[in-house]
């Protein structure tokens, strides 16, 4: 009987090729996420999305036409022993050669009352950039997927009073020469869940002290509400998700009241 990781890799080449590998590869080509001689830190949080991203990157490297390098980077921000072991066991099970480094982020943000999840996310990204650069990488890859993108668009409009999206790539402002990429940008969450359940895999959720001690949500449950809103609208119009996604690709500056340019300068419709 072949090892589970070989079965999973075969699955990515066959039954999950259209649902997972194809949109993964399409995003990389369409948004120019991987270039020759890149050294990419594939950041694995222990969740389903980033772990699948690691397997997809392994598959891409086997068949890609130009050279690039991968480092499978796991940051331990203060996980419990059980959660740390779950990440390590999954990596071994899936044949992902992880590099683990430790920080005390959970300890530092636990006493923060206002927006601890936002601060935690910012600190995590900073540590990932720093470690990736130390390891000679020029990019970090995060596992945000299509559903994260459309939820972020709606959350910005409904709760933030702004139109913005989660970009497929962006240059770091604090780490010169470093770039963040999101190669799961076109992958649907339902397909990630189907993949996980197909092989009986178990991953972490958030695994921080806030969620372990109660159903804490830094956004007051807003993302959950937006998920439900999208599900409701989809029952009436199957194209609703695609339309939300495309809305930020089809912005007409001539028909908006005001907008900010890349330097943050505000322009109004009647400026000229």
Q: How many residues does the chain have?
A: 272
**Which of 6-20, 69-83, 112-126, 216-230 is predicted with the least confidence, judged by mean pLDDT?**
112-126
* Count of other CB atoms within 10 angstroms of residue 69: 14
Name the residue among 79, 65, 38 with its Cα closest to residue 183. 38
Residue 37, pLDDT above cutoff 80: yes
Q: Of 129, 122, 137, which is closest to residue 175 (Cα–Cα)? A: 129
Rounded to an integer, the average pLDDT of 158-174 is 94
Distances in Å between the Cα of 71 and the Cα atoms of 25, 44, 96, 176, 234 are 18, 10, 10, 19, 38
Mean pLDDT computed over every residue of the chain: 91
- CB-neighbour burial class of residue 50 (10 A; exposed 0-12, middle 13-18, buried 19+): buried
Q: Using the predicted structure, report yes or no on whether residue 61 has a pLDDT greater than 80.
A: yes
**pLDDT tens profile 121-165:** 888 888 899 999 999 999 999 999 999 999 999 999 999 999 999
Whole-number Å distance between alpha carbons of 156 and 54 = 29
User: Each residue of 181-236: pLDDT tens digit?
Assistant: 999 999 999 999 999 999 999 998 765 555 555 444 556 688 899 999 999 999 99
Q: Which residue reads 């994260």 in tokens?
A: 148
% residues pLDDT > 70 (the chain): 91
DSSP code for 185: T
Tokens of 214: 């109660």
Q: Which domains does the chain have, with CATH numbers?
A: 4-214 (3.40.50.620)
The beta-strand segments (E) located in 137-208 are 139-141, 169-171, 179-181
Is 116 a residue whose pLDDT tops 70?
A: no
Count of C-beta atoms within a 10 Å radius of residue 130 = 15
User: How far is Cα 171 from Cα 158, in angstroms, rounded to an integer?
Assistant: 27
What whole-number distance in Å separates Cα of residue 9 and Cα of residue 29?
21
- Residue recorded with tokens 């559903």: 147
The Cα 31–Cα 67 span in angstroms is 18
């Amino acid at each position: 009987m072949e090892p589970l990781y070989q079965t999973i890799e075969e699955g990515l080449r066959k039954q999950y090729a259209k649902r997972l590998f194809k949109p993964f590869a399409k995003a990389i080509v369409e948004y120019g996420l991987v270039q020759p001689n890149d050294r990419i830190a594939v950041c694995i949080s222990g969740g389903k999305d980033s772990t699948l991203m690691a397997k997809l990157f392994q598959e891409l490297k086997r068949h890609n036409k130009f050279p690039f390098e991968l480092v499978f980077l796991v940051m331990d921000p203060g996980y419990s022993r059980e959660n740390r072991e779950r990440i390590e066991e999954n990596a071994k099970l899936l044949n992902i050669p992880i590099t683990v480094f430790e920080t005390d982020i959970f300890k530092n943000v636990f006493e923060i009352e206002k927006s601890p999840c936002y601060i935690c996310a910012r600190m995590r990204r900073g540590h990932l950039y720093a470690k990736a650069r130390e390891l000679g990488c020029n990019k970090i890859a995060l596992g945000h997927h299509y559903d994260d993108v459309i939820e972020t668009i709606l959350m910005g409009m409904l709760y933030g009073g702004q139109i913005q999206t989660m970009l497929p790539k962006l240059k770091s402002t604090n780490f010169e020469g470093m770039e963040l990429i999101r190669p799961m940008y076109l992958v649907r969450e339902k397909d990630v869940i189907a993949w996980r359940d197909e092989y009986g895999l178990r991953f972490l959720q958030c695994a921080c002290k806030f969620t372990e001690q109660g159903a804490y949500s830094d956004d007051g449950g807003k993302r959950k509400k937006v998920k439900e809103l999208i599900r409701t609208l989809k029952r009436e119009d199957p194209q609703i998700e695609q339309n939300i996604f495309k809305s930020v690709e089809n912005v007409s500056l001539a028909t908006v009241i005001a907008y900010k340019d890349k330097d943050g300068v505000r322009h109004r419709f009647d400026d000229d």
